[in-house]
Amino acid sequence: MIRLVVIGHGTFASGLVSAIELIFGSRSYIEVVEFQDGETKRELDTKVDLALKCSSEGERIIALCDVLQGSPFQSIAVQALSRKDMRVVFGVNLPMLIECVSMIEAGESDADVLIERMLLTGRDQIGEFEPRLSSSYQDDDWS
């Protein structure tokens, strides 16, 4: 089994999970940790501890963090240093989380496979839209 811990600054984590819930419905294997304005690092560490205590024996934990080197990353990475059942991915975006949840729902439970696919998806889903003007373009093509 896999448990996801989505962590980030402000409401980043709950925003990602809110989008996941719109697509898949609520998922009991996803925990959210938010580092709110005015909170101390010690308060964040306590939230991380509580989120990790929700994991069951034998579960693999994948922590999905907003940015490398921020307080949320530091808090979760320190925990990962002492745990063999935990991996940390930073720079998470919505397509990565959609890919991960889709694969878990399809039965995938190998953390290595999930992380590899998330990283590929994250990279593939970053780009710039370059509109091409065409005489065949219609406003209602986007409806």
List, for residues 102-126, the tens digit of each pLDDT value.
999 999 999 999 999 999 999 999 9
- Say whether pTM exceeds 0.75: yes
List, for residues 18-33, the tens digit of each pLDDT value.
999 999 999 999 999 9
Confidence class of residue 137 from pLDDT cuts 50, 70 and 90? Answer: low
Domain 2-92, CATH among 3.40.50.2000, 3.40.50.2300, 3.40.50.510, 2.40.100.10:
3.40.50.510
List, for residues 61-73, the tens digit of each pLDDT value.
999 999 999 999 9
**Residue 73: strand, helix, or coil:** helix
